[in-house]
Structure 1
Amino acid sequence: MALSDKSQKSQGSKGPPDKPRTYTSLFHDNEVVTLYQHEKTNTRQIWRRAEHPHSLLFDLSRTAISDEQFRLALYESPLKDAAHGAIIHRSRKHTTAEVTFDDQETVDKLKHEPITMKDGTQLFGSLPIPEEWEVVKVNLTHIPLYNRTTLTQALIDALKPFGNILELGIYLEQHYFTGKGFVYLNTNPKNYTLSKTFHVQPQQLSHSIPVSRKD
């Protein structure tokens, strides 16, 4: 059945036509499911270093929030009195807000306090990764379609020889798992590289490997 190119309006309705369900909206109907995080938080962790000491990082990548809207919301949040600086970092795929404080004690105290936007969206800060960590993102493909419990343990067992697993997740496409996922690894947990295979330069942050079960 073909999707309509035109908006549909119910008979007898005086309101605007319904917004059509397009192929584009179906194609982008994807979501991320986190299977494991080394520390439980209220939001997905941002695996990057801060540019300033005593900072919290906020992920704005999946929002339509402007720089001005974020700063205004920050000013009305529980972080208002302690925060003294806020800067937005933009890259090709990511938008991150860095909020700075006077000392680490304040950061640790406020890291669980949200910034609430006008639409009710709550943004929680992440602690930056330590300077000595070497964090890489590895894209996983051809993952067996196990149930979530079996899948999580199987992936952890397969990946832990390469470093400390910081975050493990899968992608759902139109609500279904299609065998694609990702993992963030700290390949230098004790100031030495465990595997040259996963040791990459900072500008090369993403690799892909297939994951499949043995026959």
Structure 2
Amino acid sequence: VWRVGRSPGSVMLDISPVPGSVDDVVKILIKKYPLNNGVLTYRERQRVVAEINLRTEEQRSSAIEQGIEFTPTITICATPALAKNATIEKLRLIHLPLLSPEDLERGLRETFRPYGDILDVGINRNPRTKAYMGQGFAVLDIQPRHNQQLHALDHHIPWCGDQEELIYANFDQKPLHCSRCHKPGHAVADCPRAR
């Protein structure tokens, strides 16, 4: 869950998979962390998110790294709440190289480090075949910190800084690019290659 917290020190959990009512889930959180500063819940369509403000860094680390056990089969890892000035950009990636999952994750982290704080990266698999087909995602906080110089996001992203090895990023504020030829300034309906 990539969401701005109400107060510093909060963590976020997607509690949608936990059976029972939202109140039942909040009771589990209170029992696990009786010394907390409060719990808030948010509905996002079908998803329910809980924000719990924990008092110690040890509790926060435990909730993030080990997760919180709600049932014997459901343990949910928390994510740190984002700062109020966070600017989140979710990228859908195509034309990724065919590498091992470990090398892809390492490459994605190296590729996107100049663009902001990396919150998450990963690959997508075809839902029917389960095959990796060169697609993935990245979630970045692109808000500069402490005079940090960041690269501007573009549709064309050099893989690990190699200008000859491009991957393609799609995101909400992306300038107009063709999904057929990947050139700027026109849509696929107006693509010269389509003629």
Structure 1 length-normalised TM = 0.57
Q: Is 1:127 the equivalent of 2:80? A: yes
The equivalent residue for 1:70 is 25
Q: Residues 182 and 72 from structure 1, CA distance in 2 versus in 1: closer, same or farther, beyond 3 angstroms?
A: same
Residue 168 of structure 1 and its aligned partner are, at CA, apart by: 0.9
- Superposed CA deviations along residues 134-193 of structure 1, whole A, max 9, x for unmatched, are 221111123232222432343334333322323211122343212221101121232567
Q: Matches of 1:55 and 1:159 in 2, distance apart? A: 26
Unaligned runs of at least 5 residues, structure 1: 1-45, 199-205, 211-215
C-alpha contact (below 8 Å) 2:89/2:139 kept by paired residues: yes
Q: Matches of 2:112 and 2:145 in 1, distance apart? A: 17
RMSD of the TM alignment (CA)? 3.0
> Counterparts in 2 of 1:1-215, with a 5 A limit?
46-61=1-16, 63-65=17-19, 66-77=21-32, 79=33, 81-92=34-45, 94-101=47-54, 106-111=55-60, 112-113=62-63, 114-172=67-125, 173=127, 174-190=129-145, 194-197=150-153, 206-207=171-172
C-alpha contact (below 8 Å) 1:55/1:107 kept by paired residues: no
Structure 2 length-normalised TM = 0.62
Higher Cα radius of gyration: 1
Unaligned runs of at least 5 residues, structure 2: 155-170, 180-195
Question: What amino acid is aligned across from residue 93 of structure 2 in structure 1?
Answer: L
> Of the two structures, which has the highest relative contact order with CA contacts closer than 8 Å and spacing of 6 or more?
1
- Superposed CA deviations along residues 67-120 of structure 1, whole A, max 9, x for unmatched, are 12311322332x1x212532211224643101134xxxx241212044322344
What secondary structure is seen at the aligned counterpart in 2 of 1:69? helix
Higher strand content, 1 or 2: 2
Q: Matches of 2:95 and 2:134 in 1, distance apart? A: 5
Q: Matches of 1:118 and 1:158 in 2, distance apart? A: 38
